[in-house]
Structure 1
Amino acid sequence: MRKIWRIYRTDWKNIFSVPSVVLLIAALMVLPSAYAWVNIKAMWDPYSNTSGIKVAVANEDEGAEIQGNKINVGNDTVKNLKKNHNLGWVFVTRSEAEKGVEKGKYYAYLIIPKDFSKKITSILEINPQKPKIIFGVNEKINAVAPKITSSGASSVTAQISQTFVKTVGDAIFSGFFKAGIELEKALPSIHNVEKQIFELEKALPQFEEMGKKAIELEGKLPEIREKGQKIIDLEQRIPEIQQAGRSILKVEESLPQIKEAGDMVLAIQGKLADLQSVNDIITDVIANLMEIESKIKQAIDSAKDAQNDQTDIADNQEQLTRLYEELANIHNQVSQTRLDLQQKIDEVRKIINTAADFFKNEMPAVEQKIKKAADFVRNDLPALEEDIRKAANLVQTKLPEVEKTVHKAADMTRNDLPGFEAKIRSAADKIRSLESSVNVNDLIQFLKHDPKKESIFLASPVLLETKRIFPIPNYGSAMTPFYTMLALWVGATFLIASLRVDVENADNEYKGYQVYFGRLLTFITIGIFQAAIASLGDLYFIHTYAVDKLWFVLFSILIGMVFVIITFTLCAVFGNIGKGLAIIFLVLQISSSGATFPVSTTSTFFQMIYPFMPFSYAVSMLREAVGGMVVEVVMKDVFSLLVFVAASFILALVLKKPLSKRIQQTAERARSTKIIQ
């Protein structure tokens, strides 16, 4: 340890013995700080000076007309941009804008086409068209400017959209307000319609019953048509009815004669006994005839006995025989007549008795009916005839229409009524569902909200409340950890490039590790000054922001020491190759440490090497001091940096001695070229 300390003291004694070397060491201490300060100050607040980025604006909008009101969104946009100083807006023609951007006079251009207002108002049409703003940017002028101008273009379109949404929203909510007023006025009518729909739903069974009856009536149409034809036929027989009526009146007039005839029949009925006496007389005649016939028969027989004696008697016998035959014939005729007369008398008696019974029992009722019929003929028959004629006319003229109506009603019942019923029930169910889920009065109150307040809300429905967890006031302060860390690595690289890492040891007075640690202390001392000057200059010269200033300085010193150890070890172990490795590490770490852009935005390769780069933990630690420290993060970063220190010491102790002779030989050959130091 004593020899290590001797090397360290000898180094500083030699430095102070030569003024030019003192100046060199001083320059090595200050130069990295200057690099950091210049870059930090240059990037102090770049987004506050975007007004110098010129963007050409060409407005060709010809405007549009809505309900008699002329509007020109392009002109309104230009007026707003003239009040906007975020970018350097320049208002020119389209050709000037395009040529200016192409030649690098402007970073970008915005062109508002002729049909911009027309398309933006097409929202009122069936097929609305989205308006376009043509944005052109010259990306070769600067890498960041296109992003800034693009952001400006986006803000313009957002502003136009916000204004448009506010205008449309104002119109919509004004319509809502009017609709709310009208709805409130129409509320009684709406309730009445609801009531009628519910009543109609209740009446649906009656409709179904009527529909069934219509179908039944349709089935009976042939029968009705047949009966209608009978009415027409009855009309044609009205003359016959009239004739029958006249006959009834004549019968009524003949009732007295009929009564007299009835009396005569009754009288005849009383004399039916006389007819029996006639029969008795005929019977007596037949008996007398039979007696005469018997006597003649005896006379004939007597005549036969005396026939042989007297010719005259024979003639008498012949005459008696003829008389007998005539009497027999007369007897037969009288007997037949008596039978016929008896039959006739029975028939007459039956007829007279029947007629007498009729006149005595039924004639009064018949007479009464005839009188009623006669009264009907005189009083009601004319009206009935008129009704028959009307009915016949109705059948002939109206029955076809009735049939059509019945067919339509039946078809509607079969085809339309089920759908109608389903719609009525669905409407009733929806009304009930709506009433249970939506209060119409609440809806009216919602529609009557202030249109202006609602449109303003619609234009900006969400307010972004930004909570700055670790606020940093400017971009320069936010970039201070990166540039300070970068300056410290550059300063360490300057040291190994400007100063020797080996010690004169011709007598092999010092061992390898003593040379390494002895000269390393000198480098670390210079690195501490580099870090102190850079960090203190950041805080008090260019006035960067840091929450924990002391820790910022201490962390910077620790980082400076770690970087010096890493670069010194590379050079001590690998010679000039180590210097190259230090430069390579610098290049890799700028992209892989997440110091400028988040490491997640880089390629896969840089994301893979991110955990193995000292910059990753150095910049994180300095950011903790600038924005506000989280102890766990700081401890992790410190531990990680100490791991790199330990790895450097192990590398030096393991490889420095085996590689020292080869590295020395390589250095001598390199110096022999008289090009490499």
Structure 2
Amino acid sequence: MKNILHLFKRDVQNVSRSVIGLIVVMGLIIVPCLYAWFNIAGSWDPYGNTGNLKIAVVNTDEGYESDLIPVEVNVGENVTATLRGNENFDWVVLNDRDKAIEGVKSGAYYAAVVIPKTFSADMMTLFSTEVKHADIEFYENQKANAIAQIVTEKGSSAVQSQVNETFTETITSIGLKTVSSLLDYMSTDQVSNFIANLSSTLGDSVQDLQGVQASATSLAGILSSTSDSLTSASGMLKQTGAVDESTKQFMEHAKSGIDDSKEALKAANDAIDAAIDGSAGSFDKVSAELDKAFDTANLHVDLTVRQLDAAASALYTRAYDIDAMAGLLGSLADQVSDENLKDGLKSAATSLGGIADEYSNNATELEKIATSLTDSMAEVNNSRDEVDQAIADAKAGIAGAKSDYDSTFSVKAKELKKTVSGILDSLDGISGDLDSAVDGLTDASGSLAKGLSKAAKLVNKASDQLGEASDKIGAFKDELDGALMSDDLATIKTMIGNDPEGLAVSLSGPVALDRKPVYPIRNYGSAMAPFYTILSLWVGSIVLAAMMKVSVDDELINELIPVRLHEIYLGRYLFFGGLALLQATLVCAGDILFFGIQCDNPLQFVLAGWVASLVFSNIVYTLTVSFGDIGKALAVVLLVMQVGGSGGTFPIEMTGPVFQAIYPFLPFTHGINAMHAAMAGAYHMEYWIELGILASYLIPSLALGVVFRRPVIKANDWIIEKLESTKLI
């Protein structure tokens, strides 16, 4: 121990006696400070100065105006206006695209943002069946600076984020304003009165249809009764026209009772005239009743069809508007990341879609009912024509029969007065003519009865269809009244509220990032101070090894005889390590006092610098003592490895697998971690654990310099001999 201290004192005395020596030693102490402080000052707040980076902006967007929403949307103008107020970069707004690109090539701008002509139109294809991706052209000069490229990429991300936020806010605002206005309109007295009138009209239509149904049922009864009457008349005519053998025998004995025959013939003539006249009158009454019934049915059906068509058209219009609202809310829900808000919008869209479907289905049912009424009434009118024709034919047949009767039977009766023999001679002809006339009347009555029976069936069918239509309209009226009583529209209106613009802003950025820093560090310079401080201490150790002699002169060794190798090693290292401590003290004190880096525990920060300087200086000193110039080269290699593998600039997870593997075994790693803990706060015993691991590197270094000193010297002498034999090294 005596020799170690003696050697240290002699080194101090030798330096203090030389002015040049003192200047050099002071320079050796200051060099690490310059290295650390220049780097810390240069990276103090680089990302706070991005406002000096020029980025050109060219907006050629022509905008977009929708047919559905008559509001012009120009996302490009909104983005440009927002970027003008963004101070993160120096945004230079230009009108010439080629000029902006040329400026990027020449280095006048670090990047250029070009918004194309169809930008807004492409973005609005989100609501069409053919979605087109909207692109922004971004030009960057990657040759200008490695870090500038990364920073301008953040600028492009900011532009993209601003575009997305502006687009979402604009579209959401327009959509919500439209929905809110529609809901307000649907809540007005005008719409309420319209719906109330529609409900009243539907009620009146139901009553009218029920009245028409009753009239049709009565008409069917009349037609059926008329058909039965005609069937009875046909039977009566057959009985009247029957000529049997007893009548012929009676005619053969008519000579003696000609007066009685004349009276009988007159009575028969009167009976037949009355029957024919009664049948004709019945046909006139039936025709008048049919015309009245058919005219009433046509009047009511036409009015009902017009009302049904108007109601269906109104329902289709409302269904289309409500369905558009549902589609818009569904699209907005897909843009929202908040689950609660997304579920609420989807629920509202589903509710509106259900109402639209219900309105469309009801409109379709009304159209079917109107079509069914029109078709049924057409069939009834066709039957009316057939019935009118049948009645006309029957009346014509009866008139013809009467004419035949008058021209035949009356003439024959007069001739009977003149001569019975003539009557007897022509009896067969009269009988045949009478049979022919009766057959004609019978056929006409049967044909008319069949026609009236068919008309009665058609009228009954129309009556049934009118009843079904009445039931359907009544059911629709009940559904409409029930929809008006529901709170679906009121719920949607409550969700939107009275401030659609505010809700649109919330939807465009539904998630606000609330940063809560753990172990906060105020600025980038403070964050980088541990890395540059630790790096400068290693560089300072290399400079000491390069400028100072690590070997002891033989003259001084002779003064110390007897002396051991470890005493020489430790004696010279005391001076070497002392200078390293001075380097660490000056660097750490400058970091805290001159630059004002954030440091929660300055004493721990300086202590970490002292331990790091002793460890680094001992490692570099031991390598140099043991291996000479090769040891110095090894110290430089270790420096390079630790710059990239210690995680001082980037998270170690972002580096390659080799650096991630050696990361835990590098002295830089633990020195930097210890200083970070002293600056921003330690997690439990983090500081002392890192400091202990850092100090543990002295064990292999001292072992190499003290325990394995002699074999290492022999190996080093052999290596030096071989290198000197090359005459180059």
Please give the range of the TM-score, normalised by the shorter of the 2 chains.
Answer: 0.5 to 0.7
Q: Secondary structure at the match of 1:152?
A: helix
1:636 match: 689
TM-score of the aligned structures, taking structure 1 as reference length:
0.65
Shift of 1:550: 2.0
Q: Secondary structure at the match of 1:597?
A: coil
1:480 match: 529
Greater shift, 563-572 or 178-187, is seen at: 178-187
Structure-2 change in CA distance of 1:378 and 1:114 (3 Å):
closer
Shift of 1:71: 5.0
Structure-2 change in CA distance of 1:539 and 1:447 (3 Å):
closer
1:153 match: 156
Structure-2 change in CA distance of 1:128 and 1:512 (3 Å):
same
Letter in 2 for 1:3: N
2:544 match: 495
Shift of 1:594: 0.8
The answer to whether the Cα contact below 8 Å between 1:59 and 1:113 also exists between their aligned partners in 2 is yes
Q: Deviations over 1:52-72 (max 9, x none)?
A: 222222222233345665554
1:113 match: 116
State whether structure 2 residue 652 is matched by structure 1 residue 599.
Answer: yes
Q: Secondary structure at the match of 2:133?
A: coil
Shift of 1:406: 11
Letter in 2 for 1:78: T
Shift of 1:614: 0.6
Structure-2 change in CA distance of 1:16 and 1:172 (3 Å):
same
Letter in 1 for 2:235: E
Q: Secondary structure at the match of 1:3?
A: helix
Aligned equivalents of 1:62 and 1:50: distance in 2? Answer: 31
Structure-2 change in CA distance of 1:191 and 1:589 (3 Å):
farther
State whether structure 2 residue 81 is matched by structure 1 residue 87.
Answer: no
2:262 match: none
Q: Deviations over 1:185-231 (max 9, x none)?
A: 599899999x99xxxxxxxxxxxxxxxxxxxxxxxxxxx9xxx9999
Q: Secondary structure at the match of 1:109?
A: strand
2:716 pairs, out of 655, 659, 663, with 663
1:9 match: 9
Q: Secondary structure at the match of 1:55?
A: strand
The answer to whether the Cα contact below 8 Å between 1:238 and 1:385 also exists between their aligned partners in 2 is no
Structure-2 change in CA distance of 1:29 and 1:620 (3 Å):
same
Shift of 1:142: 1.0
The answer to whether the Cα contact below 8 Å between 1:59 and 1:112 also exists between their aligned partners in 2 is yes
Structure-2 change in CA distance of 1:134 and 1:620 (3 Å):
same
2:167 match: 164
The answer to whether the Cα contact below 8 Å between 2:56 and 2:93 also exists between their aligned partners in 1 is yes
The answer to whether the Cα contact below 8 Å between 1:520 and 1:568 also exists between their aligned partners in 2 is yes
Aligned equivalents of 1:670 and 1:26: distance in 2? Answer: 34
Q: Larger Rg: 1 or 2?
A: 1
2:455 match: 398
1:325 match: none
State whether structure 2 residue 293 is matched by structure 1 residue 240.
Answer: no
Q: Secondary structure at the match of 1:10?
A: helix
1:543 match: 596
The answer to whether the Cα contact below 8 Å between 2:61 and 2:118 also exists between their aligned partners in 1 is yes
Letter in 2 for 1:655: F
State whether structure 2 residue 467 is matched by structure 1 residue 467.
Answer: no
1:211 match: none
Greater shift, 648-657 or 135-144, is seen at: 648-657
Q: Secondary structure at the match of 1:545?
A: coil
1:562 match: 615
The answer to whether the Cα contact below 8 Å between 2:186 and 2:192 also exists between their aligned partners in 1 is no
State whether structure 2 residue 125 is matched by structure 1 residue 130.
Answer: no
Aligned equivalents of 1:651 and 1:439: distance in 2? Answer: 85
Aligned equivalents of 1:386 and 1:245: distance in 2? Answer: 23
1:45 match: 45
Q: Deviations over 1:564-612 (max 9, x none)?
A: 1222222222322221111111111111111100000111111111111
State whether structure 2 residue 573 is matched by structure 1 residue 573.
Answer: no
State whether structure 2 residue 613 is matched by structure 1 residue 610.
Answer: no
Aligned equivalents of 1:237 and 1:183: distance in 2? Answer: 65
Q: How does 1:182-581 map to 2 (within 5 A)?
A: 182=185, 184=187, 235=230, 238-242=233-237, 244=239, 395=452, 398=455, 401=458, 441-505=490-554, 509-581=562-634
Letter in 2 for 1:493: I
Aligned equivalents of 2:492 and 2:79: distance in 1? Answer: 37
Aligned equivalents of 2:717 and 2:9: distance in 1? Answer: 25
Q: Secondary structure at the match of 1:398?
A: helix
Shift of 1:440: 6.2
The answer to whether the Cα contact below 8 Å between 2:75 and 2:167 also exists between their aligned partners in 1 is no
Unaligned segments of structure 1, at least 5 residues: 197-223, 248-376
TM-score of the aligned structures, taking structure 2 as reference length:
0.61
Q: Secondary structure at the match of 2:510?
A: coil
Q: Deviations over 1:414-450 (max 9, x none)?
A: xxx9xx9xx99xx99x99xx98xx8765444224342
Q: Secondary structure at the match of 1:471?
A: coil
The answer to whether the Cα contact below 8 Å between 1:576 and 1:667 also exists between their aligned partners in 2 is no
The answer to whether the Cα contact below 8 Å between 1:58 and 1:112 also exists between their aligned partners in 2 is yes
The answer to whether the Cα contact below 8 Å between 2:75 and 2:166 also exists between their aligned partners in 1 is no
The answer to whether the Cα contact below 8 Å between 1:572 and 1:656 also exists between their aligned partners in 2 is no
Structure-2 change in CA distance of 1:572 and 1:129 (3 Å):
same
RMSD between aligned residues: 4.3
Structure-2 change in CA distance of 1:633 and 1:515 (3 Å):
same
Q: Secondary structure at the match of 1:89?
A: strand
1:78 match: 80
Shift of 1:2: 1.8
Aligned equivalents of 1:6 and 1:490: distance in 2? Answer: 28
Shift of 1:517: 1.7
The answer to whether the Cα contact below 8 Å between 1:184 and 1:444 also exists between their aligned partners in 2 is no
Shift of 1:670: 4.7
Structure-2 change in CA distance of 1:583 and 1:385 (3 Å):
same
The answer to whether the Cα contact below 8 Å between 1:111 and 1:135 also exists between their aligned partners in 2 is yes
Structure-2 change in CA distance of 1:440 and 1:108 (3 Å):
closer
Q: Deviations over 1:315-342 (max 9, x none)?
A: xxxxxxxxxxxxxxxxxxxxxxxxxxxx
Letter in 2 for 1:491: G
Aligned equivalents of 2:146 and 2:187: distance in 1? Answer: 61
Structure-2 change in CA distance of 1:234 and 1:378 (3 Å):
closer
Q: Secondary structure at the match of 1:49?
A: helix
Shift of 1:401: 4.6
